[in-house]
Chains A and B, each alone.
Chain A
């Protein structure tokens, strides 16, 4: 097996990627509203998975509190829009800045005092929960009764204020997901990517080989938090309503980590494949249990399917699929 990532892609892999991208571009033109809204869920999951994967899959730092960054991105841009009419693109930058500061503070505190592994993960949960409770009591953003964004009746799409059709959100999310894929691919091939993977494998050995472990771990957290906050902003403007208990909730954090784990931790296409499998599975089981009228059928099938995937392919579906399709690619 060849684990060498910097070998250039074969024509076969390039062609597969091109077909995939072309299909993604055409879909909203021919698909129903239901399909487009399902694909939006898929893209949110893929993009968030990509962001989380940078931190856990590559740099090996487990976060179970990524809802914190979603929430900051969502609430800050949402509140600035509701209160001052500020364009979400500026609000997004403010949200990203807040998420980066929060992430860096949590990470710097942990790493400075040698908190790592599952203890670091517990700390990330604690801060997300802290934010959830704080925002429940934060009247300026609506507290526990929620923050609502005005839904304007528009004929066209207003990209500046992110008011528009699901198709608009679809294309924005598609662009973001592909950009995050390209960014991950670029970083993996550069020094920072090598350093992250070295840190993930053995921190002491990485340090002895000259890696400033603290600095590169912080960089991974900052980048992951910033990307996650972008998704948060889009979520706020797509859903138009925000509640602290769901936006900052632990179940959101768990949802984020599912796609990369099912798809393949530390692989480029894992989060996308994982998002595809999870979304299709979720929709299919929902429809199935609606047809049969049996409560809990969805959860039962969904849960056991995930269990089977994790048991049969603990490294995720992408490494398996890649071998099947005889693709090479930039995955360690």
Chain B
């Protein structure tokens, strides 16, 4: 029997008024793996992230991290439990310096400013932001802000990192850099990653496993190569072929 996955999402649903944003979705993220969550715009990916990270509450279902029920936990408690998240629209603490932004995350695991600073510096180094450590976060370029967002989440020492479109708006060379960083993180630090992404070259390169959702429902999952060939996936992205009489 294989051990249960790190993150277990079991039949979670969320409704906004007349819209069933997430509909009884079940999937898992095994320890140390990278899982891609894809689907067309409005499929419910960000809602699903918000549910896992505690930013909004599920109507039904359960979420477990390492066997512990984290359903409906406040975001800071979900973070405490081991979930680190980034936001699709980056949200740096604009007037703080880059290293201070990351220190805020690091303070989750230590009360010592010296330790937080050391840890933040290590992470900035890793994400290629070391040269910018004293810059005011508001002055960073978009790719830098995306990396800062990731650095801040990493500093909380997550077991699971939720990456919400961190590659959007980046150039191909920058995407390749990010892909390399995340692959290394997962391999060397054993962090599991759940990422949503429209940049398919990144999803395909990174993910061990892909979950596809459409209209809030999971329509298929599997290894990248088989998902890419799945007719249901092709249909939801491109529409179905018109049948000839």
A91 to B104, CA, bound (A): 38
Q: How far is the CB of B52 from chain A (nearest CB, A)?
A: 12
A4 at the interface (CB under 8 A from B): yes
Residue of B93, B95, B107, B111 near A205 (CB, 8 A) is: B93
Given contacts A191-B107, A201-B93, A202-B93, contact A208 B75 (CB under 8 A): yes
Q: How far is the CB of A108 from chain B (nearest CB, A)?
A: 16
Contacts of B96 in A (CB 8 A): 3, 197-198, 201, 332
Contacts of A198 in B (CB 8 A): 93, 96, 104
Residue of B53, B116, B117, B136 near A208 (CB, 8 A) is: B53
A208 to B149, CA, bound (A): 11
Closest chain A residue, CB of each to CB of B53: A208
Given contacts A209-B79, A210-B76, contact A3 B136 (CB under 8 A): yes
A191 to B105, CA, bound (A): 10
Contacts of B133 in A (CB 8 A): 4
Number of A-B pairs, beta carbon distance below 8 Å? 96
A266 to B96, CA, bound (A): 12
Closest chain A residue, CB of each to CB of B133: A4
* Interfacial residues of chain A within 266-298, with CB under 8 A of chain B in the complex: 266
1/0 contact string of B78-106 vs chain A (CB within 8 Å): 01100001010001111111011001110
B156 at the interface (CB under 8 A from A): yes
B4 at the interface (CB under 8 A from A): no
A2 to B135, CA, bound (A): 6
A331 to B121, CA, bound (A): 20
A212 at the interface (CB under 8 A from B): yes
* Contact in complex: B95, A3 (CB < 8 Å): yes
B213 at the interface (CB under 8 A from A): no
1/0 contact string of A53-82 vs chain B (CB within 8 Å): 000000000000000000000000000000
B153 at the interface (CB under 8 A from A): yes
A4 to B100, CA, bound (A): 7
A65 to B75, CA, bound (A): 31
A201 to B123, CA, bound (A): 22
* Contact in complex: B105, A209 (CB < 8 Å): yes
Q: How far is the CB of A310 from chain B (nearest CB, A)?
A: 19
A79 to B79, CA, bound (A): 48
* Contact in complex: A195, B104 (CB < 8 Å): yes
Given contacts A191-B111, A191-B116, A205-B93, contact A213 B76 (CB under 8 A): yes
A189 at the interface (CB under 8 A from B): yes
* Contact in complex: B95, A332 (CB < 8 Å): yes
* Contact in complex: B156, A209 (CB < 8 Å): yes
Given contacts A2-B134, A3-B134, A198-B93, contact A208 B104 (CB under 8 A): no
If A194-B104, A201-B96, A211-B104 are given as contacts, then 7 extra A-B residue pairs at C-beta distance below 8 Å, sorted by A number, are A3-B136, A4-B100, A6-B117, A191-B116, A201-B92, A207-B75, A209-B108
* Sample (12) of A-B pairs whose CB atoms are under 8 Å apart: A3-B97, A3-B134, A189-B113, A194-B107, A198-B104, A202-B92, A204-B91, A205-B93, A209-B79, A209-B104, A209-B105, A332-B96
Spell out A's residues near B (CB within 8 Å): 1-6, 189-191, 194-195, 197-198, 201-202, 204-213, 266, 332
The 9 nearest A-B residue pairs measured at CB: A210-B108, A201-B93, A210-B79, A205-B91, A207-B75, A3-B97, A198-B104, A209-B105, A191-B107
